[in-house]
Chains A and B, each alone.
Chain A
Amino acid sequence: MWDQCIDALLGIWNTSGSIPEPAPSNATIDAAIRILREMRRIDPTNTPICIVPAPDGGIIVEWRNDLNGTESIQTVAFLNDGTIEIVTYRDGFAESRTLEEGFPT
Chain B
Amino acid sequence: MSAGEEDGASSTKTPTVDPDEILVRQIKVGGGRPLFFDETRAAPPFVDRSLFLPSPNDVDGLSLIRLRYRSEVWAAFRSNTPDQRYRLARLLPSALIECARSVGIEWLHFNPSPDGLDRQHGEPWAHCNVQEINRKDYENKSDRTAKDRILA
Majority secondary structure of chain A interface residues (helix, strand, loop or mixed): mixed
List residues of chain B with CB within 8 A of the CB of A12: 35
List residues of chain B with CB within 8 A of the CB of A50: 34, 36-38, 44-45, 48
Instruction: Known A93-B152, A94-B148, A94-B149; judge A52-B102 contact (CB<8 A).
Output: no
List residues of chain A with CB within 8 A of the CB of B28: 20
Q: Write the B1-37 contact mask toward A (1 if CB under 8 angstroms, else 0).
A: 0000000000000000000000000001111111111
- A84: interface (CB < 8 Å): no
- A105: interface (CB < 8 Å): no
The answer on a CB contact under 8 Å between B35 and A49 is no
The answer on a CB contact under 8 Å between B36 and A8 is yes
- A102: interface (CB < 8 Å): no
List residues of chain A with CB within 8 A of the CB of B36: 4-5, 8, 48, 50-51
> Which residues of A43-66 are within 8 A (CB) of B?
47-56, 59-60, 64
Q: How many A-B residue pairs have CB under 8 A?
A: 77
List residues of chain B with CB within 8 A of the CB of A89: 152
List residues of chain B with CB within 8 A of the CB of A54: 50
List residues of chain A with CB within 8 A of the CB of B152: 87, 89, 92-94
> Which residues of A22-37 are within 8 A (CB) of B?
none
Q: Kindly report which residue of chain A lies nearest to residue B52, judged by CB atoms.
A: A55
List residues of chain B with CB within 8 A of the CB of A1: 38
- B41: interface (CB < 8 Å): yes
- What is A's interface to B at a CB cutoff of 8 Å? 1, 4-5, 8-9, 11-12, 15, 18-20, 47-56, 59-60, 64, 77, 87, 89, 92-94, 97, 99
